[in-house]
Amino acid sequence: MSARSLEGRHIVLGITGGIAAYKSVYLLRLLVKRGAEVQVVMTPSAKEFITPVTLSSLSGKPVVSEFFTANTGEWHSHVDLGLWADLMVVAPATASTLGKMAHGIADNMLVTTYLSAKEHVMVAPAMDLDMFRSPSTARNLSLLAGDGVEIIEPGSGELASGLTGKGRMAEPEEIVERVERFFSKSGSLAGKRILITAGPTFENIDPVRFIGNYSSGKMGFALADAAASRGAEVALVTGPVSLRELHPAVRRIDVVSARDMLARCLEEFPGCDCAILAAAVADYAPAVVADRKIKREKEEEMVVRLVRNPDIAATLGSMKESRTLVGFALETDNERENALSKMERKNLDMIVLNSLRDPEAGFMKDTNKIDIISRDGQTCSFPAKSKRMVAEDILDAVFPPERGQMMMRR
């Protein structure tokens, strides 16, 4: 991105009352440095954490916080601000503000501006780990995602409370990268239809037991969100996961077993331009599924006979014609050789390699560390990033901005 990548862009930066508000000062500085015109809107409690003077000095505009300026009685129009903004970013977004935004409780300038915003909105939640994990926060985030708000996931680490866990506001650099990508990529996949698979498959043994794996679905969901944010129509075929937040342009199709996943992929694939297969599909399933709970027997051993599942990637590979097919390879050893052989065997155009030997990669993590290998063996290695940013790198590789341009960006 160029140094003035946000030249001429109008951004409303909403700041709420949390300790992470100190990071918003740096975020504001980065946005302004890149050429954006930024209007800061603070909640009353945000002013307990940082002063409006600091923010107005950096933005060159008086901070808006109240509906009226006390001494002049001047009224601040949230409607005008909503119309002026090309983008609104709320960082940090506290649990309280997320709740108000999700439910339209317009009791301060920030939430009324949000309700008036005509363009895209991003929120960067920041709170203590238990607040972030609470069903109420999860529900509010899910509602906001359903309304089209882009959620910039918090990171994990030491929190202001001294506890360690998920809840730290994303770093200002990551937020700025998301902003830059939004302006450079929004609408770039309009008219494209993309099939994405996510999560594990569960292969039933009996009505209460199954063979499964540790996939959380985070990687596939991040891909779906990133593709939809770029304007694509996305069909997300997902195994059993607990994730709920989804961009409204994502059509979610829930499945359980590898056979179910194959059936739904076969329905979707012909209408798609591209499929990205991030699901961890069970290679084998029990040959027989008991229709009643299997009882504990006297014998020390029990044998469950397994039969091979269909290979979804290979099946789609055999019928892909001009469609682009991207697979993942999750490896523990001989990573590159195994990935190359999977790409060949399944007739993939590209394979995303992640290794369980990398502590920041793989199942359940919020981050991933990938190599993207194209059919001619060209490889691009990326540092560990949040899964959402990894998803952006994968989309950049699959849909390079211009034909003939270097396929991958480091």
Write out the residues near ligand PMT by the rule CB under 6 A: 197, 199, 215-219, 258, 277-281, 283, 309, 311-313, 327-330, 342, 354, 362-364, 368
- 1 and 76 in contact (C-beta within 8 Å)? no
CA distance 227 to 185: 10
- 203 and 282 in contact (C-beta within 8 Å)? yes
Closest to ligand PMT by CB, 86 or 225: 225
Strand partners, 60: none
CB 322 to ligand PMT: min, Å: 20
CA dihedral 69, 70, 75, 78 (to 10 degrees): 60
Which pair of tokens denotes residue 179?
């902003």
CB 225 to ligand PMT: min, Å: 13
Residue indicated by tokens 């959620």: 151
CB 132 to ligand PMT: min, Å: 18
Is the peptide bond prior to 135 cis by the omega test (within 30 degrees of 0)? Answer: no
CB 222 to ligand PMT: min, Å: 8
CA distance 188 to 232: 8
CA distance 248 to 232: 11
Closest to ligand PMT by CB, 12 or 219: 219
Closest to ligand PMT by CB, 81 or 226: 226
Closest to ligand PMT by CB, 116 or 355: 355
Which among 120, 383, 327 is positioned nearest to 231, based on CA atoms?
Answer: 120
Closest to ligand PMT by CB, 95 or 340: 340
Catalytic residue among 71, 204, 213, 334: 213
| C-beta contacts of 129-138 below 8 A and 24+ residues apart | 129/159, 129/163, 129/164, 129/165, 129/166, 129/167, 131/95, 131/167, 132/95, 132/165, 132/166, 132/167, 133/165, 133/166, 134/95, 136/95, 136/99, 137/95, 137/98, 137/99, 138/244
CB 91 to ligand PMT: min, Å: 24
Which pair of tokens denotes residue 375?
């059919």
Buried b (16+ CB within 10 A) or exposed e, 152-168: bbbbbeebeeeeebbbb
Local structure of 146: helix, strand or coil: helix
CB 371 to ligand PMT: min, Å: 12
Closest to ligand PMT by CB, 96 or 324: 324
Which among 278, 13, 26 is positioned nearest to 121, based on CA atoms?
Answer: 13
CA distance 234 to 239: 16
Which among 339, 328, 312 is positioned nearest to 218, based on CA atoms?
Answer: 328
CB 308 to ligand PMT: min, Å: 8
Judge whether 334 counts as a catalytic residue. no
Closest to ligand PMT by CB, 120 or 342: 342
Active-site annotation, residues: 213
